[in-house]
């Protein structure tokens, strides 16, 4: 069943990409396994998923431990932290996550930098942008994003890879379009303000309800839960 869902999602993604004239390969699908069991995670890994998203550090650590104990090969798997990260969990988060998508304060960035430094890691991160006032409590305000990027660029053990946003739940995916185009424009704007610095490339936007619109608006990383795990 999960395999069928993945096939359908891939087909839908290929269709949007061909409409846009871009290759589907450039797009990363993060399978969001929050609240799902170990058996389901093994199923998606066997189906070829290599990017897994979790929204709680403790849950991710537990699952990681169980999967390792079962002998599941995790070398090729990239773990994404997509939920709000409390500063006191940064120490555990840097241990397992390849990409922390939800950095939204200088204080948190500073702690991630410190903890990553302790284990000789450069932690890849995205900045969570609050494009919509109602979607989530968290995120950097769009008009403060450039200053924010400048402010955290001094941290040596952090590598800023791009931006993430969550659009409000809407009946029609079209309602999400302005938030996604706003994030795309913001990424260009930030890159324009950082001559010489490495370009921010990742635009993590689009979930089950609105991933096709997000891809049309330039998303190259979609975070999909229900459409993969539910019938």
Ligand X SMILES: *Cc1c(COP(=O)(O)O)cnc(C)c1O
Binding residues for ligand X, per CB under 6 A? 32, 34, 55, 82-83, 166, 207-209, 223-227
* Minimum CB–partner distance for residue 31 and ligand X (Å): 9
* Minimum CB–partner distance for residue 193 and ligand X (Å): 26
Q: CB atoms < 10 A from the CB of 231, how many?
A: 7
Compute the 3-state secondary structure of the chain and give helix, strand, coil in percent, each to the nearest 5: 45, 20, 35
Instruction: Compare residues 141 and 154 and give the one whose CB is closer to ligand X.
Output: 141
- Beta-carbon contacts of 72 under 8 Å, excluding residues fewer than 6 positions away, are 42, 45
Query: CA dihedral in degrees (127, 41, 77, 102; nearest 10)?
Result: 10
* Minimum CB–partner distance for residue 21 and ligand X (Å): 26
Round to whole Å and give the CA distance between 175 and 173: 5
- Beta-carbon contacts of 82 under 8 Å, excluding residues fewer than 6 positions away, are 30, 32, 34, 53, 54, 55, 101, 102, 164, 223
Round to whole Å and give the CA distance between 160 and 106: 13
Instruction: Compare residues 87 and 208 and give the one whose CB is closer to ligand X.
Output: 208
CA 59 to chain centre: 17
* Minimum CB–partner distance for residue 210 and ligand X (Å): 9
CA 120 to chain centre: 23
The partner residues of 31 in beta bridges, in order of sequence, read 52, 224
Question: Residue 64 corresponds to which tokens in the numbers above?
Answer: 């990681």
Instruction: Compare residues 155 and 224 and give the one whose CB is closer to ligand X.
Output: 224
- Torsions phi, psi for 49 (to 5 deg): -70, 135
* Minimum CB–partner distance for residue 209 and ligand X (Å): 6
* Minimum CB–partner distance for residue 30 and ligand X (Å): 8
Instruction: Compare residues 155 and 225 and give the one whose CB is closer to ligand X.
Output: 225
Instruction: Compare residues 130 and 155 and give the one whose CB is closer to ligand X.
Output: 130
Instruction: Compare residues 108 and 155 and give the one whose CB is closer to ligand X.
Output: 108
Round to whole Å and give the CA distance between 63 and 72: 11
With CB atoms as reference, the residue minimizing the distance to ligand X is 225
Instruction: Compare residues 19 and 226 and give the one whose CB is closer to ligand X.
Output: 226
* Minimum CB–partner distance for residue 8 and ligand X (Å): 14
């Amino acid at each position: 069943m999960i395999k069928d869902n993945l096939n359908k999602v891939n087909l839908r993604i290929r269709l949007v990409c061909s409409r846009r004239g871009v290759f589907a390969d450039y797009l990363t699908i993060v399978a969001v396994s929050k609240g799902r069991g170990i058996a389901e995670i093994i199923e998606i890994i066997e189906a070829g998923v290599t990017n897994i998203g979790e929204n709680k550090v403790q849950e991710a650590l537990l699952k990681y431990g169980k999967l390792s104990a079962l002998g599941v090969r995790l070398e090729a798997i990239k773990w994404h932290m997509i939920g709000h990260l409390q500063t006191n969990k940064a120490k555990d988060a840097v241990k397992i996550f390849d990409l922390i998508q939800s950095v939204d304060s200088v204080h948190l960035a500073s702690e991630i930098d410190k903890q990553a430094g302790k284990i000789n890691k450069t932690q890849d991160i995205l900045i969570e942008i609050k494009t919509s006032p109602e979607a989530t409590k968290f995120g950097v305000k769009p008009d403060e994003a450039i200053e924010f990027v400048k402010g955290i660029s001094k941290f040596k053990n952090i590598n800023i890879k791009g931006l993430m946003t969550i659009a409000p739940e809407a009946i029609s995916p079209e309602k999400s379009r302005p938030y996604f185009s706003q994030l795309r424009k913001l990424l260009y704007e930030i890159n324009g303000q950082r001559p010489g610095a490495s370009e921010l490339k990742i635009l993590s936007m689009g979930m089950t309800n609105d991933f096709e619109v997000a891809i049309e608006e330039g998303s190259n990383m979609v975070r999909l839960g229900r459409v993969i795990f539910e019938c």
